[in-house]
């Protein structure tokens, strides 16, 4: 270990609460206020349209063109003058001369005159002179008759009348030139990308995605997916955090488990990124190095939060990047990420600060107990249309979150909710 980064394991340095515990804990509201004061959308970048789905628009998009750029047929049939079909019925067919044919992507050079029809396919431009499309199923075509070296043009009988504009898509009816197609801060859906393509946008200016370094520490950890052995366990937090970061629009960098060594942890925390998530080593044990490193080399703004689980969580800044200290216990890690780190990653990427979960209001089957002065993240299941608490303790029991359908947040000024109370449930699915 180099002298420049090493430090004594005795708890005597700023930010060092190892083996002493927290003298006080920051409220969730105060932690969020600090966090919101240190997060803003990242700079923008241009990406190809085919890579724009799920990205966040940096500015509004205004169309420079009409879509469609021409009047077009909305059905296969015949482009006609509507007046030429007036009074047509199966019992009173009106014959028209077929003057030509138009396919999508082509144009008819002539003009539809009185008593004429032009065969047309869906999406093809309406020819000059026509103002309606007679559907194919409302027409009966007679074959052209040969007469010496010449041929008599084929004719079509209109079996129904059409009004002006019938079965015609008008120029600009989808998008008008000069209109705002998509607003700024829009998270682009597949259909949004389709609209951008339709107005000729080949590149899109979007908010840059935050780069997130996941630093999982612990000499007791095995690589993700490894069978547990002896006194060692598989890393569950790394894969979970990677999935959460991806959900919130971040770019994950997680090269593997970092040993419980101050130099190795500091080096990992200084990787090129926008956000650092340190999982494990954030509490008050002798091997909990991350808080001391952050306090010594950067800013440990908050350490210890009045929330259950996740009370050892912390946050600060190092070399201009946000650092989140997430507890090693999996449920605590999940809770701290959801309340704080996920919020920051979404804001940096231009997304909504709100929880990325659908919520419903339902009644409790039994009481949900809490304590005044802390926020509780309570896992719940939905049973017969009611809310059943699964667990409000047991920070190491990650399976409680898979048994749960969602969670209820109990505010700090509440002792919980009585049986039958209506609560807001955030649904995992």
Which tokens belong to 266? 């500091």
Report the number of secondary-structure helices (H) and strands (E) in the chain. Answer: 8, 30
Which CATH number describes the domain made up of 359-427? 2.40.340.10
> Which pLDDT value is given to residue 144?
57
Is the model's pLDDT at 199 over the cut of 60?
yes
> Which pLDDT value is given to residue 198?
96
Is the model's pLDDT at 141 over the cut of 80?
yes
More confident residue, 394 or 288: 288
Helix residue spans in 24-72 (DSSP H): 28-36
| Interstrand relation of 275-279 and 211-216 (parallel, antiparallel or unpaired) | parallel
Is the model's pLDDT at 97 over the cut of 50?
yes
Residues near 21 by beta carbon (within 8 Å), at least 6 away in sequence: 284
Element (H, E) at 117: strand 116-120
More confident residue, 214 or 6: 214
Segment 81-96 shows an average pLDDT of: 96
Average pLDDT taken over every residue of the chain? 90
> Which pLDDT value is given to residue 280?
86
28-42+209-348: CATH class: alpha beta
Segment 82-91 shows an average pLDDT of: 96
More confident residue, 394 or 165: 165
Give the C-alpha distances (Å, rounded to integers) separating 70 from 31, 173, 305, 400.
Answer: 56, 10, 62, 59
> Which pLDDT value is given to residue 1?
35
Is the model's pLDDT at 330 over the cut of 80?
yes
44-67+178-207: CATH class: alpha beta
Which CATH number describes the domain made up of 72-169? 2.170.190.11
Residue 153: band (very low, low, confident or very high) from pLDDT cuts 50, 70, 90? low
Distance, in Å, from the CA atom of 106 to the CA atom of 89, rounded to the nearest integer, reads 31
Is the model's pLDDT at 40 over the cut of 80?
yes
The percentage of residues in the chain with a pLDDT greater than 90, rounded to a whole number, is: 81
Residue 401: band (very low, low, confident or very high) from pLDDT cuts 50, 70, 90? confident
> Which pLDDT value is given to residue 142?
83
Segment 113-118 shows an average pLDDT of: 96
Helix residue spans in 158-230 (DSSP H): 190-198
Is the model's pLDDT at 16 over the cut of 50?
yes
> Which pLDDT value is given to residue 407?
94
Distance, in Å, from the CA atom of 174 to the CA atom of 190, rounded to the nearest integer, reads 17
Is the model's pLDDT at 139 over the cut of 80?
yes
> Which pLDDT value is given to residue 55?
97
In the chain, where the domains are located? 28-42+209-348, 44-67+178-207, 72-169, 359-427
Q: Cα Rg for the chain, rounded, in angstroms?
A: 33
pLDDT tens per residue, range 257-290: 999 899 999 999 999 999 999 998 776 666 689 9
Residue 143: band (very low, low, confident or very high) from pLDDT cuts 50, 70, 90? low
Give the C-alpha distances (Å, rounded to integers) separating 289 from 1, 13, 23, 232, 304.
Answer: 14, 11, 18, 20, 15
> Which pLDDT value is given to residue 403?
85
């Amino acid at each position: 270990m180099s002298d420049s980064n090493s430090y004594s394991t005795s708890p005597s340095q700023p930010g060092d609460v190892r083996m002493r515990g927290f003298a006080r804990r920051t409220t969730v509201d105060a932690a969020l206020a600090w966090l919101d004061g240190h997060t803003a959308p990242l700079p923008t970048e241009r990406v190809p349209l085919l890579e724009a789905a799920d990205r966040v628009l940096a500015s509004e998009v205004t169309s420079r063109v009409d879509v469609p750029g021409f009047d077009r047929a909305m059905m296969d049939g015949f482009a006609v003058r509507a007046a030429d079909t007036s009074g047509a019925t199966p019992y009173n067919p009106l014959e028209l001369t077929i003057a030509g044919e138009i396919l999508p992507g082509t144009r008819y050079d002539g003009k539809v005159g009185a008593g004429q029809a032009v065969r047309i396919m869906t999406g093809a431009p309406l020819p000059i002179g026509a103002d309606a499309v007679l559907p194919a199923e409302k027409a009966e075509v007679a074959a052209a008759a040969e007469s010496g070296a010449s041929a008599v043009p084929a004719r079509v009988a209109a079996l129904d009348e059409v009004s002006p504009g019938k079965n015609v898509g008008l120029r600009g009816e989808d998008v008008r030139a000069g209109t705002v197609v998509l607003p700024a801060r829009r998270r682009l859906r597949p259909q949004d990308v389709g609209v951008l393509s339709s107005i000729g946008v080949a590149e899109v200016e979007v908010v840059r995605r935050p780069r997130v370094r996941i630093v999982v520490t612990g000499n007791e950890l095995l690589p993700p997916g490894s069978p547990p052995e002896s006194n060692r366990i598989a890393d569950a937090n790394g894969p979970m955090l990677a999935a959460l970061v991806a959900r919130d629009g971040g770019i994950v960098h997680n090269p593997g488990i970092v040993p419980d060594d101050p130099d190795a942890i500091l080096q990992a925390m200084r990787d090129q990124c926008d956000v650092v998530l340190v999982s494990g080593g954030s509490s008050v044990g002798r091997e909990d190095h991350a808080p001391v490193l952050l306090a010594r080399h950067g800013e440990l703004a908050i350490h210890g939060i009045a929330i259950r689980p996740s009370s050892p969580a912390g946050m600060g800044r190092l070399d201009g990047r946000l650092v989140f200290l997430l507890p090693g216990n999996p449920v605590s890690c999940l809770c701290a990420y959801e309340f704080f780190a996920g919020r920051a990653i979404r804001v940096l990427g231009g997304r909504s600060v709100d929880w990325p979960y659908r919520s419903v209001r339902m009644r409790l089957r039994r009481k949900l107990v809490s304590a005044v002065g802390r926020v509780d993240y309570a896992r719940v299941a939905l049973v017969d249309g009611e809310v059943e608490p699964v667990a409000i303790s047991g920070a190491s029991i990650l399976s409680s979150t898979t048994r749960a359908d969602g969670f209820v947040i109990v505010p700090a000024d509440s002792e919980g909710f009585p049986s039958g109370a209506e609560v807001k449930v955030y649904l995992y699915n």
